[in-house]
Amino acid sequence: MTLTPDLLDALNSQRIETPSWGYGNSGTRFKTFAAQGAARTIWEKLDDAAEVHRLTGIAPSVALHIPWDEVEDYGELKRFADERGLEIGAINPNVFQDEGYKLGSVTSPDEKTREQATQHLLDCVQIMKQTGSRDLSLWFADGTNYAGQDDLRARKHRMRAALKRVHDALPEGTRMLVEYKLFEPAFYATDLFDWGAAYAHCLAIGDKAQVLVDLGHHAQGVNIEQIVAFLLDEGRLGGFHFNARRYADDDLIVGTSNPFELFCIYAELVSAATSSDALTRSTAQSVAYMIDQSHNIEPKVEAMLQSVLNCQEAYAKALLIDRDLLREAQAAGDVLGAHRVLTDAFKTDVRPLLSDLRAEQGLSTDPIKAHRQSGYQHRVAQERGTQSGGGGYPVKEKAHSV
């Protein structure tokens, strides 16, 4: 298989954003394992992200989590990122770790708490302006644990009001990505419990609101690629949080337990990007591809490299689908023939192709090997040591994994 100009163009323009919180220590509710050389500050997290980008060439932006990544001067943070060839990606406001959020943040029955949370979201809009970020990425831990604990419709209205207020404060050319999750930390009802709820809010509040699909946030067996296709077609798919899960929101390395799902998702995106429908096409072309993982026992930088490379492989395979043949088989009602067109692409070993791509780009053909040989991990372990806690999620305050 050779790198045709079209393939080369598409693969050259692939982008995957990495999360600051994937570079620091993190854990489950049982324990945070201290990783040697794990980044302790946002500055070190940016250094690690720059290493992932240097080796892969496709991870030039980093998502921030506020206040975990709070700094005095965001202009300085932006300059620091610029110097490393990075951009600041999505801003993720944290409205789930204050004492006051026990009953919810923007949906809390307490008006003062709602105001505090909404104010934090608005502060994050200011941080977007200072860092050049284009996406405000919203995930809420809000929900209830018992039937009758709170009024479900009232909570919906509170969510809508907060989202609307923040939406209307967004600068032109930016957007809000609304993430849903079926459960956890709330166990009876979650305010943004599925894509339909997120979509309904987005439709009601305005054009700058789009849905974010986190692969870990669905019930077992849900067909995520179908949700993706639907939202693309409606012009409301804003972005992804890539990870892999088996049981709940496990936040494992994307493409490890779910390679076929990841491929099918990319297959929908590739198909939508060339759709004859202008809205579907432009939606597909502006999707934010982000990783949301919490590596608990893996070396941080290597885990992130693996994640980015798994996305690159899935995308490359999706680009190889013979679309004409697929359409023919579908039109002829050839059930298994159509399926085989997809699986032929999925089963193709794209590693030689990607190695050629990297050679073209002047990168090392094997980024993981290059990382292992570079001495980076050894150097940061010497410089940063092994810190318990610190960075990433302060786990004792979390209900489960990230």
Chain residues that interact with ligand PSV, rule: CB under 6 A? 92, 139, 179, 181, 214, 241, 249, 292, 402
Name the closest residue to ligand PSV (Cβ): 139
Q: What is the DSSP string of 286-337?
A: T-EEEE----SSS-HHHHHHHHHHHHHHHHHHHHT--HHHHHHHHHTT-HHH
Instruction: Evaluate the CA torsion angle 171, 88, 368, 247 in order and state its sign.
Output: negative
Q: Is the dihedral of CA 146, 149, 155, 159 positive or negative?
A: negative
Minimum separation from the CB atom of position 179 to ligand PSV (A): 5
Kindly state the smallest distance separating residue 227's Cβ from ligand PSV, in Å: 16
Nearer to Mn ion, 87 or 292 (CB): 292
Residue ranges binding Mn ion (CB under 5 A): 214, 241, 249, 292
Query: In this complex, which beta carbon is closest to Mn ion, that of residue 63 or of residue 318?
Result: 63
| Closer to ligand PSV by Cβ: residue 215 or 380 | 215
Q: Phi/psi at 345 (nearest 5 deg)?
A: -65, -40
Q: How far is the CB of 397 from ligand PSV (least distance, A)?
A: 12
- What are the beta bridge partners of residue 334? none
The set of residues, in sequence order, having a beta carbon less than 8 Å from that of 33 and lying 6+ positions away, is 25, 27, 296, 297
- SS3 annotation, 59-106: CCEEEEEECCCCCCCHHHHHHHHHHCCCEEEEEEECCCCCHHHHHCCC
Q: Which is nearer to ligand PSV, 23 or 139 (CB)?
A: 139
Among ligand PSV, Mn ion, none, what does residue 69 contact (CB within 5–8 Å per kind)?
none
- Shortest Å, Cβ 53 to ligand PSV: 21
Which entry of Mn ion, ligand PSV, none binds 202, CB below 5 to 8 A by partner kind?
none
Smaller CB distance to ligand PSV: residue 158 or 181?
Answer: 181
Residue 92's binding partner among Mn ion, ligand PSV, none (Cβ under 5 to 8 angstroms by kind) is: ligand PSV
Do the Cβ atoms of 280 and 233 come closer than 8 Å? yes
Helices 195-205, 224-233: crossing angle, 10 deg rounding: 10
Q: Which one, 243 or 306, has the nearer CB to ligand PSV?
A: 243
The whole-angstrom separation of Cα 48 and Cα 56 is 12
Closest by Cα among 166, 106, 117, 115 to 142: 106
CB of 216 to ligand PSV, least distance (A): 7
> Residue 181 CB, nearest distance to ligand PSV (Å)?
5
**Residue 180, contacted partner among Mn ion, ligand PSV, none, CB below 5-8 A by kind:** none
Smallest gap from residue 292 Cβ to ligand PSV (A): 5
Locate 373 and state its tokens. Answer: 């040989």
Rank residues 202 and 329 by Cβ distance to ligand PSV and give the closer one: 202
